[in-house]
Amino acid sequence: MIVPALLTDKKENLEKMLDLCSGFTDFVQIDVMDGEFVPSTSIGPKDLDGLGGKIRSEAHIMAQDPLSWLDAFKGIGSERIIYHFEANCDHAKTIETIKACGCEVGIAINPPTTIEQVEPWIDKVDSVLFMSVIPGFYGAPFIPEVLNKIREFKKIFPDKVVGIDGGVKLNNVKEIADSGVDYICVGSALLKAGNPKEAYERFLGELGIV
């Protein structure tokens, strides 16, 4: 599954991205950043007001306080809330609070984070998002060593839903898919393409989906 990853610091741009993506897919990831967990900033929680119903979504929260975004994403109907293992938050409280809202919980891990570090929490979450870049910017370079970590993870947790996010291009998407991931988030290679719909279809074609 190819999932467009939407990242912007302007509400009107996000609206345009959502409308655009609704023409060729039924599910997107909305990326947000607080300027603390990562140096860049994105739209804020209030910018999500009124954007529900356009398309199904999951949230990827790159913030030290992921729960400060929970009401906003619940308000637009996001089905899964992904927060970072490296965030300065109480994991038990964060996972429990997200689940209490009726959303699935995903945990994202940065390239330096090991499986051993995050392993105690794996059974408590619905999915794991492996970052294949240092997060915070569109167009960051892909870190291929993350694929070995995914292969190792899938041997230990074969039934856990696994996503990958960062640096995905047409020339590496097949290798990425072969690592065992369940879905692949694609940002700049789709949203900054001249024709995002055609770019999306090329990714599917590279994977033999169409």
Q: How many domains does the chain have?
A: 1
pLDDT value, residue 210: 67
| CB count in 10 Å sphere of residue 1 | 14
- The enclosing domain of 197 has a CATH number of 3.20.20.70
Contact between 178 and 184 under an 8 Å Cβ cutoff? The reply is no
Count of CA atoms in the C-beta half-sphere (13 A) of 198: 4
CA angle 117, 169, 137 (to 5 degrees): 60
Rounded Cα distance, 194 and 140, in Å: 19
Q: Which pTM was predicted?
A: 0.95
Q: Would you give per-residue pLDDT tens digits along the chain (210 residues)?
A: 999 999 999 999 999 999 999 999 999 999 999 999 998 899 999 999 999 888 999 999 999 999 999 999 999 999 999 999 999 999 999 999 999 999 999 999 999 999 999 999 999 999 999 999 988 666 678 999 999 999 999 999 999 999 999 999 999 999 999 999 999 999 999 999 999 999 999 999 999 986
Contact between 186 and 3 under an 8 Å Cβ cutoff? The reply is yes
Contact between 34 and 59 under an 8 Å Cβ cutoff? The reply is no
pLDDT value, residue 140: 74
Could you tell me the residue range of the domain that residue 148 belongs to?
Answer: 2-206
